[in-house]
Amino acid sequence: MNAPAPKTPGVELIGREDELDQLRAALDEAFAGHGSLYVVEGEAGIGKTRLAAALEISAAERGARTAWGTCQEEAAPAYWPWRPILARLEVAAGVADPFALADALCASIRATTGVASAPATVLVLDDVQWADQASLRLLRLVAGQLADMPCLVTVTRRISGLEDPAPGPLLDVERERFVRRLELPGLRAADIGRLMTAVIGRSAGAGLTRAVAERTAGNPFFVIEIARVLRHDHVSDRTSTGLPASVRDVMGRRVAGLSRDGQQIIGAASVLGLNIDIPMLVDVTGRSHRDVIGALDEASRTGLLRAAGDVGTSADRLAFAHGLGREAIELAMPLEERWDLHRRAGAYLEASGAQRLSELSYHFDAAAPLGETARAHRYTVAAASLAARERAYDQEALLWRRVLRLLDLDPSLDDRGSVLLGIALALQRGGMVEEAWEGSMAAAAHARATADAKLLARAALVVRGV
């Protein structure tokens, strides 16, 4: 009996059309009697198994014989992922000699040549990074005989981190002549929009798609999980989403695999932002530069971090692989510890003399519950004024709203009227007329309550000609 491919969520395969076409071309070659082996690689959730399942469906529709085996993370007996494949191809699994087993398997595949009922064979080995040595040895022996066999073998391999070489036996497999590697990158923005539309059941706006792309780095699993939250909660395009439990679980398992020191340092890094600022991380954690680099190296090998930008893979150019991952790690930390790390980060930037107003505002605002409202207010007002000069009106409005929240925390920072007016003006300059009108009404109401005639006049002039 054939071992079926794992069931996948009821969402069509999106954004992998080119890769699927490449595998289908290899399938055409297999039908012509010329076999090959594809190693499909990528991080967890990138779509390796779904791509292999789509290939299996295409092959079955064309009459090919298909068989699927899955490697297990736990220690498994020799040839474990091959057992369902051998059963499907009616090959005795009790053969101890790997060469004899490979010959029997290849003989069964060649027996389909010219047979109308099954003119080709497609084999899938899923999660080969966990394969036992005997299974990899058998894979290599089969790969060496593919040239004249009507067979397409597809293996999926999870890669994580910046440098994750294949195990020795798999490298030996990849050296065979008819072996190809197919690495799956994150989805493009257009494909993320299509995938979200398929899950939500309505068109995803450009702003929402862009935000999801930034948080997920195009990982289909994360995109689908966020889209399901949107579908369930009926969230609008302007609303940020929470973290699905499935995403928190995935990231929690990755962090749990780190050493205790690694968990603490990566936790601190998650609070400081998406890109890793190593000097800041050393300062706020009080750890040595060597300890920090060691923790970053450990995290990079689990897939939590990636090279920032396109500049090599050096440890001074690291970032979290996904915005979602960073958020999940940060939210798992105790609240007061997060506040204190933000306060330390703000103090570090302040002491360094760096004019990074947006970051200073962000960190001191997050530390406001620890009594940092005055510094948060000062830097946020300055950042809002800078955003206005740079015509970044969405950012300006966001910053003025941050100031408004600070006023609620600390009544001594009493400039509510000017802040409400700043919000309205930023919205008006950004072309958001309806929101600007509502903002001007809020400023006018405050002006009446405080008998501030000048503010009332200015509020009345925010939206003109409507």
Start-to-end CA distance of the chain, whole Å, equals 72
Spatial CB neighbours of 205, under 8 Å, sequence gap ≥ 6: 237
One-character DSSP codes across 22-40: HHHHHHHHHHTT--EEEEE
pTM higher than the cut 0.85: no
Angle between the N-to-C axes of helices 393-409 and 373-389, in degrees from 0 to 180, rounded to the nearest 10: 160
What does the alpha-carbon distance between residue 397 and residue 402 come to, in Å, rounded to a whole number? Answer: 9
List, for residues 246-293, the tens digit of each pLDDT value: 777 878 888 888 999 999 999 999 999 888 999 999 999 999 999 999
**429: exposed, middle or buried (Cβ count in 10 Å: 0-12, 13-18, 19+):** middle
Map tokens 């939500």 to a residue: 200
**Phi, psi angle pair for 419, to nearest 5°:** -70, -45
Spatial CB neighbours of 95, under 8 Å, sequence gap ≥ 6: 101, 104
Name which of 294, 243, 71, 268 is nearest 169 in CA terms. Answer: 71
Is it the case that residue 177 has pLDDT exceeding 90? no
Angle between the N-to-C axes of helices 245-256 and 260-272, in degrees from 0 to 180, rounded to the nearest 10: 130
Name which of 433, 414, 293, 271 is nearest 344 in CA terms. Answer: 271
What does the alpha-carbon distance between residue 448 and residue 417 come to, in Å, rounded to a whole number? Answer: 10
What does the alpha-carbon distance between residue 319 and residue 321 come to, in Å, rounded to a whole number? Answer: 6
| Confidence label for 168 from pLDDT (cuts 50, 70 and 90) | low
What pLDDT shows up at residue 58? 93
What does the alpha-carbon distance between residue 326 and residue 386 come to, in Å, rounded to a whole number? Answer: 27
Is it the case that residue 95 has pLDDT exceeding 50? yes
What does the alpha-carbon distance between residue 191 and residue 234 come to, in Å, rounded to a whole number? Answer: 21
Could you tell me how far CA 248 lies from the centroid of its own chain?
Answer: 12
Distances (CA, A) of 206 to 196, 432, 437: 11, 16, 24
Report, as an integer, the average pLDDT of 25-29: 95
Average pLDDT, the chain: 86
What does the alpha-carbon distance between residue 274 and residue 139 come to, in Å, rounded to a whole number? Answer: 40
What pLDDT shows up at residue 259? 92
Paired tokens of 259 = 């050493």
What does the alpha-carbon distance between residue 107 and residue 100 come to, in Å, rounded to a whole number? Answer: 10
Torsion 334-338-344-345 (CA) sign: positive
Name which of 242, 307, 249, 241 is nearest 275 in CA terms. Answer: 307
Report, as an integer, the average pLDDT of 79-103: 88
What does the alpha-carbon distance between residue 114 and residue 119 come to, in Å, rounded to a whole number? Answer: 6
Name which of 411, 403, 398 is nearest 365 in CA terms. Answer: 403
What pLDDT shows up at residue 322? 83
Give yes or no for a contact between 302 and 158, defined as CB atoms under 8 angstroms apart.
Answer: no
List, for residues 196-252, the tens digit of each pLDDT value: 998 888 888 888 888 888 888 899 988 988 888 777 655 444 334 467 777 778 788
**Phi, psi angle pair for 158, to nearest 5°:** -80, 130
What does the alpha-carbon distance between residue 80 and residue 282 come to, in Å, rounded to a whole number? Answer: 46
What does the alpha-carbon distance between residue 362 and residue 409 come to, in Å, rounded to a whole number? Answer: 16
